[in-house]
Structure 1
Amino acid sequence: MLEVSKRGHAMPVSPFRKLLPHAEAARKRGLQVHYLNIGQPDIETPPAVLAAVQKANIRVLEYSASAGHESYRQKLAAYYQRAGIDVTADEIIVTAGGSEAILFAMLSCLNPGDEVIMSEPFYGAYTAFTVAAGVHIVPVLAHLEDGFALPPINEFERVITPRTKAILICNPNNPTGHVYRREELEQLRDICLRHHLYLFSDEAYREFCYDSPYVSALHLSGVDEHVVLLDTISKRYSACGARLGAFVTKKKELYAVALKFAQMRISPPGLAQLLGEAATDLPPTYFDATKKEYLARRDLMVSRLRAMPGVECPMPGGAFYVMARLPVDDCETFGQWLLESFSYENQTVMLTPAAGFYATPGRGRDEVRLAYVLNLDTLNAALTCLEKALIAYPGRTQPQAPALEAVAG
């Protein structure tokens, strides 16, 4: 009898897309679905960036070098240097999105059976990458009550074993929006130096820090050989479909190993590199309006959520996500109910249940991640739907507020 792999069985369903079939069914029934489940911004991709591809005079779309075009890596290095990150082009491997960079890091630094420590909740796809690499997540719990700040460093010390090889962070954090302070990062640096661990730092949202300065793991002193910076242009330039990222390391032996994995897939996307190269030419002021817009969206979402009876959420300091605790029995059940059984003015909402962001079974069942990637008017309408739904939901775990008009069924 033919069987699929154990690895395939262990691969989790994407927490962001798990409810998508129910959303598609709702759309076919004529409902407008507001997608707060995934970090797909509605910010316009910079026209100058798209024009670089549209106007390219290409007769043959050739392979690039496996590490990416030298011209792009040079410009990418200059971009990092402007952000205070001292790297050169020959310390960068261009990848097919941040996802490939994460996978390269795990395949290049870890052996099957090794352990990587993560503060949970963490980006849900990390689980899939660890399954693909045959390694294990060791979670350390962060708490909504303190804004998902870095857990006490002794909690990390406590779970280190001979199989521990790395700590993985996302800064600013997806899904929590927490921005790690320099003091928090220095604690992680010290533990990595003390125990000879890699520090994987996913910095996809570095431009979107609202209340405190951005600090890269490569801004820290004495840890260059330990840090692997993981990056993507997806959120920075609202270019998720380009699938263009970067794996950055100053450790020459690690670079050489990762390059072999890059050679395995031949080269990163060619047209996307044209787009990425043009993006590095955008003026630094490009981010001013985008950051201002996300800040307004954040403030709207948090104020609306906090006004809903029974809802708890911290103020995220960066990225474009809010983690919220809802007064419901189970957020996955609630999310499915929203798409199957609820509507308000012919609208409903798709959200991401937070259980998929935890490695510990049972955690996150009453939490959701919401992405403030929609314009203010649409976001306001989506939050009104959510407010009405929380009142109408039969699995609410707290007494209902005075009834508001809503349609269930």
Structure 2
Amino acid sequence: MAAGPLVRPYRIRWNGSVKRLHPAWLVAAVAFVALVGAAGFRATPGVLIHPLHDEFGWSLGTISLAVSINLLLFGLTAPFAAALMERFGIRRVVAYALLLVSAGSGLTVFMKHSWELIALWGVLVGLGTGSMALAFVATITGRWFVHRRGLITGVLTAGGAAGQLVFLPLLALLTDAHGWRAAALTVAGAALAVVPLVLWRLRDHPSELGVAPYGGEFVEAPVATGGAARRALGALRLASRKPAFWLLAGGFAICGATTNGLIGTHFIPAAHDHGMTEPTAASLLALIGLFDIAGTIASGWLTDRMDSRVLLGWYYALRGLSLLVLPMLFAATVRPSMLVFILFYGLDWVATVPPTVALCREYFGASGPVVFGWVFASHQFGAAIAATATGLLRDRLGNYDLAWYIAGGLSISAAALSLLLFRTRNASTAATPSVAAVAA
């Protein structure tokens, strides 16, 4: 098949000679920008919890419920979105997802009742961000890369952290100076601004441009058969027969509980309880995003070179130890001990993603991206439970201490689940049919 017209412009000059840049790198770059644009909302809940409480009088439990629904849909949408990308194309699904995020965030400026917060934050934004969750990353890397898959998975996963880094301090300052509505409109505008780039440059499959995946051989794009829901549910049915699926899902549920559900939602309010200003606490959370970029990219590099089960065991165990000491580190000002925690925890924030994606590919073969969508759904299920439960604990006890201790213990148990994967190491990826075969 001849190379398509979009292949020719991808050229760079290096040491006086012109070399062609593989289109996979541009696709990855556009995916990174799209993930950054959608990440604005991930920074919103922690910044807006207290302003919404102050203006409307809603309890932290009620606001956390909206966040929990968002996190739950964020996860449950992922496997269906991965199947939709196979059925209708990555570009179309991502563009619609960004429009949903923009609408859900922008319309909050008109809300008067808590059910509207749940409908907009929870449902609309949950569906939009879920369609661009980490199953999107797994789909991009699975289609466009053979070499450097782990590294690119780490880089794209870091896109969410980069978005948090960009948006958190900005949203905190906007909320402090102009109110929470200015922050909500900023998130809506950022998501909307990425849509033209996605429609212009994001492509569905290497064969569309007449090229092979980076580091691989040319293959025709598979023809999707059946409905997206049927393929997603069929992949779940087959994957659930393997113990490896439940071990991965259990560990990733704890991962979600101890990141998005706990730290992402409640770190800023917890720091505020100890007298720290919200912009300062938001800056600390943004630093976690900064260090996470380095940690996740390094994790992707390590995933290409080490056993992913060992990596997950270390990541979860170290996270658990850091959470157990966190209650002693909060203060009205930023102390060196808190900065050490931010550095340590940030490097580990979503470093679990590249090895988890690799293990889904190892155990479930061509169905890996859709199966990872279900594993990611468990991640968000854990995050949703943690977000609501932590808000209720705070309402009942007046502090967050017990939540940090529970999270630390759960993380250590996730390390044990990861090491149990060695018992299923000989599972044959060839034994698992592809998604298309499941749907047939």
What's the TM-score bracket when you normalise by the shorter of the two chains?
under 0.3
- Quick check: which one's helix share is greater? 2
Q: Please report the TM-score for the alignment, with normalisation by the length of structure 1.
A: 0.27
